[in-house]
């Protein structure tokens, strides 16, 4: 390349570093230039969110040690023991000895001593001491006066009581903090089951934890995008007015996201009970000869087996908006079916229905001849279906809900495998998407394209028969697109793909057949024929938004 032209690798390195608080940036601009544009409230919220994200991950030990080798439920029980022991301690000497024990445990767990002490001794003890200040005065704790001012005095007994209470609080939190710095949060939450905590509560805690990072990131992004559109100095009234609206918007988004995150977790086995996991493991290799195998369903395409048959399927959202109207469609074993259509045509809804994450308002769905209602009535059939059919969601953020990329990728197969077999499945999926180097990264740290690759890997690790993909090339760079194309071409005939995409080049290179969807199936046929048809059919609808870049060359 010419002398002053930047290389692609240079651009790639810059884009990878951009926005990551843990990576260095070049000082090509004044560090405080953007800070001056932020108000006090905005800076406070952003700094709090960034601190929360960093503290949850950067202080995690990630090494093998004492607590890491203990069952998470045992860590929770030990935390309760520490709590009760600190309550019954009568003097500062006993409490101090208990604190020394927690420090020794932290060191044995290979936790950074400085980070541990900073977490334990900084905020909570200071806050507790401030709260306990009134108890030092004679009108609450009578006793020998140490300091007096007019009729107000601080007593020796009051100071001792405040110190003992603060020390108890410090010791009570020391072991739980060590546990959270040594054991993954989702493992600790799972450990609540042994304490007979209601299963529903455990599931709610898991969902809350897994999308807390997403909400924190979204709050910071909202603040940043707002700042980008502030064109003149604002009054504090305007700023606070916007803030109240933003809080409302964030709450609404959180409700929608929680539903989508739960769908993504359900699609990959969330909620499967222990006995169900044992039952499937006992079946071993026989799992592939499931209840569906004896119910082959052949249609009007010779003797090819229809994996899916949708018959007059319609779907209307609770707000009254119709997404699909009388859609009839067959998907055959081993084919790659492309789904194209304008924005709002019902493509995402179609894939959610095919994955049985939502049920149609009317119509029938057959999976290998089995009616979807019969599948949904039988828990074992639902889990067999999940093993066979997986969805790559349009928004990778809702699909990445664990503490690291590796844990996300192993979330599905861990319900069926363990040990080396599980490790092989996870390693293979990471390798296929070329993201082995991201295994220990938290999803919130990733770029859009990296999140997309991780989301696809989380489905590949399950090794399903049918893979549904919603806009899989969105955010992917050139190499990411090539990886996906090569993957589909390698797996064609062995697996069935249904791919919704606005990427014409990708559809042409991968699909065997394409349907044009606009609430109904408008056209079905060869990919090039479908794209030619789309040029005329979609022009009056939303051609500009479709971005069919190849139309000029085809």
| 446, 347: one domain | yes
pLDDT of residue 337: 96
* 0.85 surpassed by pTM: no
Is residue 161 a contact partner of residue 131, using CB atoms and an 8 Å limit? no
pLDDT of residue 41: 54
The CATH number given to whatever domain includes residue 338 is 3.40.50.300
Q: What is the CA radius of gyration of the chain?
A: 28
Residue 46 in domain: no
Residue 363 in domain: no
Residue 207 in domain: no
The CA-CA-CA angle for residues 379, 189, 389, to 5°, reads: 35
Residue 423 in domain: yes
pLDDT of residue 74: 83
| 138, 284: one domain | no
Residue 216 in domain: no
| 340, 476: one domain | yes
pLDDT of residue 486: 95
The rounded distance, in Å, linking the Cα atoms of 361 and 375 is 17
Residue 134 in domain: yes
Residue 467 in domain: yes
Mean pLDDT for each consecutive 10-residue tract of the chain (554 residues)?
A: 38 38 41 47 60 58 76 83 84 87 89 84 78 80 78 82 86 85 76 72 67 69 63 67 69 71 72 46 40 38 75 91 94 94 92 92 94 90 90 86 84 84 94 94 86 94 94 93 94 92 92 93 89 65 41 37
| 272, 132: one domain | no
Is residue 188 a contact partner of residue 175, using CB atoms and an 8 Å limit? no
Residues 6+ apart with CB under 8 A from 272: 383, 415
| 516, 412: one domain | yes
pLDDT of residue 517: 93
The rounded distance, in Å, linking the Cα atoms of 454 and 457 is 5
The residue among 133, 166, 183 that closes a domain is 183
- Give the phi and the psi of residue 306 in degrees, each rounded to 5: -85, 115
Is residue 514 a contact partner of residue 337, using CB atoms and an 8 Å limit? yes
Residues 6+ apart with CB under 8 A from 538: 341, 342, 516, 518, 546
pLDDT of residue 26: 40
Burial of 466 (C-beta count, 10 Å sphere; 0-12/13-18/19+): buried
**For the chain, how many structural domains are there in total?**
2
| 172, 278: one domain | no
The residue among 160, 183, 206 that closes a domain is 183
Domain of residue 470: give its range.
268-288+332-355+382-553
The residue among 183, 204, 239 that closes a domain is 183
């Amino acid at each position: 390349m010419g002398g002053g032209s930047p290389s692609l690798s240079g651009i790639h390195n810059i884009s990878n570093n951009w926005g990551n608080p843990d990576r260095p940036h070049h000082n090509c601009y004044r560090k405080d230039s953007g800070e001056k544009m932020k108000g006090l409230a905005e800076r406070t919220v952003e700094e709090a969110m960034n601190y929360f994200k960093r503290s949850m991950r950067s202080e995690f030990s990630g090494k093998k040690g004492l607590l890491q080798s203990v069952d998470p439920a045992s860590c929770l029980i030990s935390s309760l023991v520490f709590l009760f022991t600190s309550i019954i301690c009568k003097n500062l000497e006993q409490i101090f000895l208990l604190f020394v024990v927690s420090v020794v445990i932290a060191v044995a767990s290979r936790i950074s001593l400085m980070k541990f002490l900073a977490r334990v001794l900084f905020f909570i003890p200071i806050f507790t001491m401030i709260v306990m200040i009134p108890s030092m005065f004679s009108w609450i704790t009578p006793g020998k006066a140490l300091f007096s001012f007019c009729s107000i005095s601080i007593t020796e007994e009051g100071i001792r009581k405040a110190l003992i209470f603060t020390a108890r609080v410090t010791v009570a939190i020391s072991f739980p903090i060590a546990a959270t710095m040594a054991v993954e949060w989702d493992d600790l939450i799972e450990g609540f089951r042994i304490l007979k905590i209601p299963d529903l509560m455990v599931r709610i805690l898991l969902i809350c934890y897994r999308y807390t990072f997403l909400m924190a990131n979204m709050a910071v992004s909202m603040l940043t995008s707002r700042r980008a559109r502030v064109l003149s100095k604002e009054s504090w009234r305007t700023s606070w007015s916007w803030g109240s609206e933003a809080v409302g918007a964030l709450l609404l988004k959180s409700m929608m996201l929680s539903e989508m995150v739960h769908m993504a977790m359900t699609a990959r086995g969330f909620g499967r009970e222990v006995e169900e996991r044992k039952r499937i493991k006992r079946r071993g290799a026989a799992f592939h000869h499931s209840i569906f195998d004896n119910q082959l369903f052949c249609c009007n395409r010779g003797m090819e087996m229809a994996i899916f048959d949708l018959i007059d399927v319609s779907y209307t959202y609770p707000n009254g908006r119709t997404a699909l109207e009388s859609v009839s469609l067959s998907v055959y074993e081993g084919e790659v079916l492309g789904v194209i259509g304008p924005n709002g045509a019902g493509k995402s809804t179609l894939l959610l229905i095919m994955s049985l994450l939502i049920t149609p308002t009317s119509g029938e769905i057959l999976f290998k001849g089995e009616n979807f209602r019969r599948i949904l009535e039988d828990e074992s059939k639902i889990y067999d279906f999940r093993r066979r059919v997986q969805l790559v969601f349009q928004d990778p953020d809702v699909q990445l809900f664990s503490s690291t990329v590796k844990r996300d990728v192993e979330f599905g197969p861990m319900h069926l495998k363990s040990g080396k077999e599980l490790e092989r499945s996870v390693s293979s999926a990471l390798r296929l998407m070329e993201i082995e180097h991201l295994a220990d990264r938290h999803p919130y740290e990733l770029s859009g394209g990296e999140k997309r690759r991780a989301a696809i890997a989380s489905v590949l690790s399950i090794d399903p028969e049918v893979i549904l993909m919603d806009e899989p090339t969105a955010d992917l760079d050139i190499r990411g697109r090539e990886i996906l194309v090569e993957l589909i071409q390698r797996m064609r005939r062995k697996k069935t793909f249904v791919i919704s995409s606005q990427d014409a080049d990708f559809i042409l290179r991968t699909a065997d057949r394409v349907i044009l969807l606009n609430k109904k199936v408008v056209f079905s046929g060869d990919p090039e024929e479908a794209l030619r048809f789309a040029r005329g059919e979609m022009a009056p609808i939303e051609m500009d938004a479709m971005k069919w870049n190849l139309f000029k060359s085809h």
